[in-house]
Amino acid sequence: MSRPKQHHIYAGLLAGIPLLFLIAFFFWPLVNILRLSVTAVGVEAVLVRPYFRQTLWFTLWQAVLSTGLTLLVGLPAAYLFARYTFPGRSLLRALTTVPFVMPTVVVAAAFRALLGSQGAVNQGLMALFDLSRPPLRLDQTLAIILLAHVFYNTAIVVRLVGGFWGHLNPRLNEAARTMGASRWRAFREVTLPLLRPSLLSASLLIFLFTFTSFGVILLLGGPMFSTLETEIYRQYVNFLRPDIAAVLALFQIVFTFVVMMVYTRWQQNTAVSLDMRAEKANLKRPNTWPEKIAVATIMGGLCLFLVTPLLALVWQSLVDRDGNLTLAYYQALSEARRGSVVFIPPLTAVRNSIGYALLTVLLAGGLGLMTAVALARPALSLSKGPSLWRKWADPLFMLPLGASAVTLGFGYVVTYSSLRTSAVLVLIAHTLVALPFVVRSLLPVMQGIKPHLHEAAAVMGATPGRVWREVDLPIIGRALLVAAVFAFTVSMGEFGATSFIVRPNSGFLTMPIAIQRFLSTPGGALNFGQAMAMSVILMAVSTAGFVAIERFRYADIGEF
């Protein structure tokens, strides 16, 4: 058999296995949601009842409001990192990204620990003013939801807008100032038009994330607020109406994919040639007093906003109701209490999450590696050429990234009812959610491998397997570590899909589900304390994962 033919067979196998996985566990569940959603009763109920129109309207306007507030907080931070150098800059920039890698249940727990009725702020005010009741009533309010959304998504503005802003040539702005334009006019007529592509890209992403917000709304909004995500969950789990849940899920799928299409098309159509400079060349120290005050104010505000909820989370896990330091909440994680809202020792949920995460690393890592190899090598492309293959296959494997995890979980339970109580379905859900992150971590590095290295090895008689072991693997080793950490961290924090599959009386309970159960049960200092303790553990894992990703990333190559 000729070597080119052998390459194409190898390519078909590499691409075929991930494609089959995608068809079975992504497209087929979505087809079943579509089939279920066309029932007349479900469609009529959604169209007729005002409650569902109100839910849709709230989903839309809270996402728009969250996006605007995030830009309001994120733009000063983006400007700070784009134009100034100061002690602790790298640490503070990393700190802005930490909330984004946190599981949503941890973010919700952090704001409950800070601003909830049992939170640190209320406890402090009660002790200071000798009050008998919490003075701040932010539980189940729109304010705490918006704060959590801004906290979670500020990193998008800093990374996308700040990164782009930092590479713009400041001479354009200086030329406008020389011609008599004020600082504000120069920004409005020169800098802002140049920033518009990155601003709109960041806005679309933030809107998408807040439109599909689930954990934050469920845990902080309670029954008072409902979005499409939480309503899909409640209609199926609480009201046993899969037909209505399917109609809502279909609407969300269509709307989400439209937003994703707008986002990708915008990126393609707004690519312009600019006079870009290295980021370090644009940085300067704050010299004047107004600059020093502005930098200090933004730094202080960022630290206060980003660090306080996380510190409150740690503090609440270490103090009892009387304010005494204790490890009782951590010690209670190993106990199966009578009357507990979970039916296994919480520590078992920790072990379950670690087990799922390790298996997700193996499964998502293997599938992602096959996908990246098939996409990256021209020799492994289809006969019509690599460009056509990449044009269709690359977006195809990214579709799970734009899909709601809640919708996926719902699709699984209506498609694979025989696996409804199986740990296998949890693993499949975690793998599908992690797969796009693995592919995007590996693909840029694999595309950077010079073709002549493969050609030289082939000329010397190396088999494809040996070329892979001795040429590719040493080069992509660090990218593989990044992909593995992504898969592990995503699996540890996955909540949306798992909430449909795992029940509280199941032995397959995961940490996010256990935290949700503890936080959703009113009363009981022990429930609240155990939720805080488990959230701290999950926060530590997520932070360690982020540090590892930044440490192992190959020359800042990667798309996340």
- Rounded CA-CA distance 136/115 in Å is 8
* DSSP-derived 3-state class of residue 342: coil
Q: Which residue has tokens 């998504």? A: 153
pLDDT of residue 543: 86
The answer to whether the beta carbons of residues 266 and 197 sit under 8 Å apart is: yes
Give Cα separations from 547 to 3, 174, 485, 542 (angstroms): 42, 37, 10, 9
Residue 404's pLDDT is what? 81
Taking alpha carbons only, the member of 435, 36, 60, 52 closest to residue 212 is: 60
Alpha carbon distance 374, 10 (integer Å): 9
Paired strand residues for 319: 325
From 548, 545, 534, 546, select the one nearest 106 (Cα to Cα).
534
pLDDT averaged per 10 residues in sequence order, the chain, 560 residues: 52 76 91 79 75 90 95 92 84 83 89 88 85 86 94 89 77 69 71 80 88 90 87 85 85 79 62 54 80 88 91 91 84 74 78 93 91 68 49 71 82 83 87 88 72 60 61 71 86 89 78 86 76 91 81 55
CA nearest neighbour of 506 among 289, 299, 348: 348
Residue 188 amino acid letter: R
The highest-level CATH class for domain 1-37+326-560 is: mainly alpha
Q: Which two tokens stand for residue 161?
A: 């807008």
Other C-beta atoms closer than 10 Å to the C-beta of 26 total: 19
Q: Which residues contact 23 (CB under 8 A, 6 or more apart)?
A: none
Of 206, 208, 214, 192, residue with least CA distance to 67? 206
The Cα 557–Cα 560 span in angstroms is: 9
The alpha carbon dihedral of 329, 331, 337, 343 has a sign of: positive
Would you say the CATH fold of 39-316 matches that of 1-37+326-560?
yes
Q: Where are the alpha helices (DSSP H) in 84-141?
A: 89-101, 104-115, 120-129
Residue 523 Rama label (left phi>0; alpha psi -120 to 50; beta): left
CB-CB contact of 342 with 530 (8 Å): no
Domain boundaries, the chain: 1-37+326-560, 39-316
C-alpha to C-alpha distance for 436 and 77, rounded to whole angstroms: 29
The Cβ of residue 144 has, within 10 Å, a number of other Cβ atoms equal to 23
Taking only the tens place, the pLDDT of each residue in 230-260 is 999 888 888 878 888 888 888 888 887 777 7
Residue pair 119/112 in contact (Cβ under 8 Å)? The answer is yes
Any bridge partners for residue 284, and if so which? 84
Name every residue whose Cβ is closer than 8 Å to that of residue 459 and which is 6 or more positions away in sequence: none
Maximum Cα–Cα distance across the chain: 85
Distance CA 1, CA 343 (A): 59
Torsion over CA: 466, 469, 474, 476 (sign): positive
User: Given this model, what pLDDT does residue 381 score?
Assistant: 43
Question: Which 8-state DSSP code applies to residue 277?
Answer: -
Q: Give the span between the Cα atoms of 455 and 196, in whole angstroms.
A: 43
8 Å CB contact between 402 and 257? yes
CA separation, residue 230 to residues 217, 245, 364, 404 (Å): 7, 10, 27, 11
Q: What is the pLDDT of residue 265?
A: 65
Per the CB < 8 A criterion, the answer to whether 242 and 417 are in contact is no
Tokens 């007529």 belong to 189
Q: What is the pLDDT of residue 320?
A: 84
- The DSSP letter of residue 559 is -
Query: In 3D, which of 556, 555, 549 has the Cα closest to residue 490?
Result: 549
Contact in structure between 312 and 114 (CB atoms under 8 Å): yes
Q: What is the pLDDT of residue 383?
A: 44
Q: The domain 39-316: what is its CATH number?
A: 1.10.3720.10
Are the beta carbons of 33 and 249 closer than 8 angstroms?
Answer: yes
Distance CA 221, CA 226 (A): 8
CB–CB of 234/212 below 8 Å? Answer: no
CA-based torsion, 377, 383, 387, 388: positive or negative? negative
Q: State the DSSP code for 505.
A: T
What is this structure's pTM? 0.85
Beta bridge partners of 325: 319
Helices (H), 448-557: 451-459, 464-467, 473-493, 496-501, 511-520, 525-552
Tens of pLDDT, residues 281-297: 667 888 888 888 988 99
Helix (H, G, I), strand (E, B) or coil at 445: helix
